[in-house]
Structure 1
Amino acid sequence: MSSMDLHRIFDLQYQASRAQVDVPLLVRRERLLRLQKMLDENGPALAAAVQADFGMRSARVTELLDLLLLRQQLKHTLRNLARWSGRQRVRTPLMLQPGKAWIERQPLGVVGIISPWNYPVQLALAPAITALAAGNRVMLKPSELTPHTSSQLASLVSQFFAPEEFCVIEGDVGVATQFSGLQFDHLLFTGSTSVGRRVAQAAAAHLTPTTLELGGKSPCIVAADCNLREVALKIAHGKLVNAGQTCIAPDFVLLPRGREAEFAEAFMEAVRKLYPRISGNPDYTSILTKRHLARLKQMLRQAQGLGAQVHWMQEGAAAQPDEGAETQAMAWGDSVERQMAPALVFGATGEMQLMQEEIFGPILPVISYERMDDVIKAINASPRPLALYWFGQDERVRDAVLSRTVSGGVCVNDTLLHVAHENLPFGGVGESGWGAYHAEQGFLRFTHQKAVFVQSRWSATSLMYPPYGARFDRMMEWIRRWL
């Protein structure tokens, strides 16, 4: 798409948003119902497009991780739309009575969305649902790394929506750069922290407010009172769904010292239960591209070179962490469309790449600890994560961890599920992002809350006008008594 075409479409939406500032509830609802119909009628086509982009990602995985969450969000949004959109009455303070006041919730205008490749349907349409519900026009730029899905979304959206309502912009990184520089009323970006910084800088040129859904290294804390078989199954599921290509996947495990071998055995058993085989298993998603796979390989090579021990979770016993085992596992991972065998890494240190960057793959470092205070200090010494996972039975210790650490969200005694809770906001903090777009908080992210005060004809505020004197002093004394 040329720069001229991009600006033409933006101008079309911009003019439409200014021509219809007040978007009736009926129009908002009808747009959401159209989106719902689009998903209901084209779920298999979207799943096939995702499969084509990944090489190995079954339709069942896409149904669970993309489409089901969108259907739930649409149902919840339609059920609450009238309440969220309505005028919000507020109490008026004594000194301004008998006037009255309320908050008018209005659309911002044109919302831009830049979505990532890892959940290419869900992370593209989830913020669009919220933005449309708030009455906005939406321009969506999906990832160029999932071209089949992006093309399918562009085709379907053009069938169900006029371009001035909702449109999809396809293109490469150059198009995305131009897109982030448009004068949106709000811009949402989901992706890496490094790219998020560039998006925020581009938006700042127009003072465009942003929502940044980034990532980071989400810790998974295992307390000493845990049953490791139960815990390992939940951690393995959270880590390996979509082959670890999930922004809120557990990025590393903090484990009581002395239980490393027990955890490795429990984790291997969990992997076998979830994925009886890796190679050719349609339930086990492939790494998106050879470039992404090469990055994961390099992380492991560097970690081993610096003294870490890598335990491969293969169909038999875990392989020994030597060069031959690495070659074998990598070949197995490449043999069927970049499916990479899971790996545990023991002895990881801060100088290693896999402890400095979000991993985004089926590699799980395990860090041993002595005291819970050390865990809390380590988390607070690092950038604030998008998610934090706590496994344990002692509520006192749990609450101490929750109160003394800051993260985008928390899931206790499981992983990932907080993002599926329809009444919880989802978003980051610090380097893991800012803003949220789920639930009512997300609706408000794409809404202008306009303050309105209506003066009564019987107002006494004129008594506070100058010139000031004895009357003013008596009035102020009376107000102070009632405050």
Structure 2
Amino acid sequence: MTPFLPPAPDHLPAVLRDTFAAQRAAFQKQRNPGLQERRADLRQLHHLLRDHREAIVQAIAQDYGSRSRFETLLTELLQGQEAALAAMRHLKRWMRPQKRRLDPTQYPLARAFTFAQPLGVVGIVVPWNFPIAMAFQPLICAFAAGNRAMVKMSENSGHLARLLQKISPDYFPADKLAFLADDDAGPGQSLGPLFTQLPFDHLFFTGSPQTGKAVMANCAANLTPVTLELGGKSPAIVAPDFPLDKAAERILWVKLLNAGQICTNVDYLLLPEGSEEAFIAHARRIAAERFPDLLGGDYTAIIDQRQYGRLQAVLQDAVAQGARIVPLLPGQAGDAARRILPPMLVLNVTEQMQILQREIFGPLLPILTYRSKEEVRDYINARHHPLALYIYSHDRALQDFYLAQTLSGGVSINDSLIHTGLHDLPFGGVGHSGMGHYHGYEGFLTFSKLRPVFRQSRWRTVDLLMPPYGQRAYRLLNFMFWRNR
């Protein structure tokens, strides 16, 4: 008898239905690839990134209009290659069955263990801000776990999507890995909402909380497990004991990286009251040193006109409500035609301003001041859990206070962003900032079924507890109660 598995809905484009059907059929023929095949798949991902490095850099630059070559190499290609190699090194240990303890009634000869088994066909929805990193990091986890994958690229990553569609068949058959461009659905139709209606065995989505809700609703129709990597307003707290110049150096590094278009970026800064002017002076000096020519290529453009216009509207809203705008590069005006938006600090902000209500995703940094650690704690906890928290303090007790009294996806102490690039640390949000984890072993588990197995021996201890319940059974039962007193 042929088991029932829900097919792709008929209303979906043929490219989705056919690709999904091919991958599901291939998985049914080989449900649990071994260590060597999985390592070979990871090696192919590594080779794809290595062999086409320059073409990938150029495609991303075309999609952005202007994207720092160095930042693409550092944050996307190097990270992807490192992650693939790290997974290859650790995969044998990850795949090894794990012995689990027995209950007293099962001693002494039975065995209990878990082993990780592939889920099947997974879908990955990729954002535009780090299109290689956000495609290949979950792909590495999915392939390490033995799955097949369909990857839907962003509508803002058209050049990269076409490049990946062209080169991927040289490394993988389409029933193992398929890249899909957003316009593959046909003229004037976005593939994203249709893609998430497929009955995947797992769906991985990176994007905004608003879109994440729609994705989760589509997945619910098929009971598809989902990992959501969202965003939110991630704060940086500078304590009075931390050198202000050092904090400015490290915070500005991440705030200006990719022109601030990072889901784990510092979205607002909490400074001790009275330190604002000193921070401004440090920030202006640092920005001038790092970007003597804003149009020279080291500074990335805003991805499209819609996002550029949104950031301009956020600034105008703040100014209209009394905010003070501090350009970090006052002698450089940027370039509206190329969507080069100069970095700015925003002071005297209030809760009514858009800049404090939604994730900024750009080179604008609002500054708030505080008088006590309790004030900081209460402010953060009155809002959605952020994707990241950044604590700048050498005081271990103060670090522990913020760690214990707040909740976030991840934390960097005395730095920003670094924790997100460590392959052995899980990455993921909580609540409004996401659900589930990936990177390293936790990513391997995300795309696996951790299957529990109990293997009974020839002789069962529980046979001593069968009715009729005589003295021997009661003595054994009383002994177990005594052990658990």
Fold conserved between structures, TM > 0.5: yes
Question: What CA distance in whole angstroms lies between the structure 2 residues aligned with 1:104 and 1:214?
Answer: 29
Correspondence for 2:318: 303
Per-residue deviation at 1:467? 4.3
Indicate conservation of the 8 Å contact 1:107/1:447, yes or no.
yes
1:232 aligns with 2:248: yes
| Residue identity in the other structure for 1:305 | A
Correspondence for 1:319: none
Kindly report which structure 2 residues correspond to 1:75-224, keeping only aligned pairs within 5 A, or say none: 75-97=85-107, 98-172=109-183, 174-224=190-240
Question: What CA distance in whole angstroms lies between the structure 1 residues aligned with 2:330 and 2:360?
Answer: 23
Question: What CA distance in whole angstroms lies between the structure 2 residues aligned with 1:468 and 1:155?
Answer: 71
| Residue identity in the other structure for 1:342 | P
Per-residue deviation at 1:454? 0.8
Kindly report which structure 2 residues correspond to 1:9-408, keeping only aligned pairs within 5 A, or say none: 9-97=19-107, 98-172=109-183, 174-278=190-294, 280-316=295-331, 329=333, 332-335=334-337, 337-408=338-409
Where 2:312 maps in the other structure, the secondary structure is helix
Question: Could you report, residue by residue, the CA deviation over 1:158-177 in whole angstroms, capped at 9, with x for unpaired residues?
Answer: 22111111111122463111
Per-residue deviation at 1:424? 0.5
93-102 or 135-144, which deviates more: 93-102
Where 1:196 maps in the other structure, the secondary structure is helix
Per-residue deviation at 1:304? 0.7
Where 1:205 maps in the other structure, the secondary structure is helix
Indicate conservation of the 8 Å contact 1:272/1:315, yes or no.
no
Correspondence for 2:5: none
1:8 aligns with 2:9: no
153-162 or 421-430, which deviates more: 153-162
| Residue identity in the other structure for 1:10 | F
Indicate conservation of the 8 Å contact 1:52/1:148, yes or no.
yes
Where 2:71 maps in the other structure, the secondary structure is helix
220-229 or 208-217, which deviates more: 220-229
Indicate conservation of the 8 Å contact 1:276/1:315, yes or no.
no
| Residue identity in the other structure for 2:360 | I
Alignment length, in residue pairs? 468
Question: What CA distance in whole angstroms lies between the structure 2 residues aligned with 1:138 and 1:77?
Answer: 17
Question: What CA distance in whole angstroms lies between the structure 2 residues aligned with 1:376 and 1:464?
Answer: 55
| Residue identity in the other structure for 1:145 | N
Question: What CA distance in whole angstroms lies between the structure 2 residues aligned with 1:111 and 1:249?
Answer: 28
254-263 or 170-179, which deviates more: 170-179
Indicate conservation of the 8 Å contact 2:42/2:85, yes or no.
no
| Residue identity in the other structure for 1:21 | R
Question: What CA distance in whole angstroms lies between the structure 2 residues aligned with 1:442 and 1:466?
Answer: 47
Structure 1 segments, 4+ long, off by >6 Å, are none
| Residue identity in the other structure for 1:333 | D
Question: What CA distance in whole angstroms lies between the structure 2 residues aligned with 1:248 and 1:5?
Answer: 33
Per-residue deviation at 1:2? 6.2
Q: Which runs of 5 or more structure 2 residues have no equivalent in the other structure? A: 1-10, 184-188
Per-residue deviation at 1:460? 2.1
Per-residue deviation at 1:481? 2.6
Correspondence for 1:323: none
Per-residue deviation at 1:350? 1.0
Q: Provide the TM-score with structure 2 as the length reference.
A: 0.94
Question: Could you report, residue by residue, the CA deviation over 1:284-321 in whole angstroms, capped at 9, with x for unpaired residues?
Answer: 000011111000000000011111111111254xxxxx
Q: Which runs of 5 or more structure 1 residues have no equivalent in the other structure? A: 317-327
Correspondence for 2:7: none
Alignment RMSD (CA, Å): 1.5
Per-residue deviation at 1:394? 1.1
Correspondence for 2:3: none
Question: Could you report, residue by residue, the CA deviation over 1:81-112 in whole angstroms, capped at 9, with x for unpaired residues?
Answer: 00001111122222112201111211011111
Question: What CA distance in whole angstroms lies between the structure 2 residues aligned with 1:363 and 1:206?
Answer: 40
Question: What CA distance in whole angstroms lies between the structure 2 residues aligned with 1:221 and 1:205?
Answer: 41
Correspondence for 2:432: 431
Indicate conservation of the 8 Å contact 2:261/2:362, yes or no.
yes
Question: Could you report, residue by residue, the CA deviation over 1:232-253 in whole angstroms, capped at 9, with x for unpaired residues?
Answer: 0111111010000001110000
Indicate conservation of the 8 Å contact 1:44/1:59, yes or no.
no
Indicate conservation of the 8 Å contact 2:68/2:258, yes or no.
no
Per-residue deviation at 1:277? 2.1
Q: Provide the TM-score with structure 1 as the length reference.
A: 0.94
Indicate conservation of the 8 Å contact 2:43/2:85, yes or no.
no
| Residue identity in the other structure for 2:441 | E
Seq. identity, %: 40
Per-residue deviation at 1:349? 1.1
Question: Could you report, residue by residue, the CA deviation over 1:416-459 in whole angstroms, capped at 9, with x for unpaired residues?
Answer: 10011121101100100011111111111111111111111121
Question: What CA distance in whole angstroms lies between the structure 1 residues aligned with 2:415 and 2:237?
Answer: 11
Where 2:182 maps in the other structure, the secondary structure is coil
Question: What CA distance in whole angstroms lies between the structure 2 residues aligned with 1:467 and 1:363?
Answer: 76
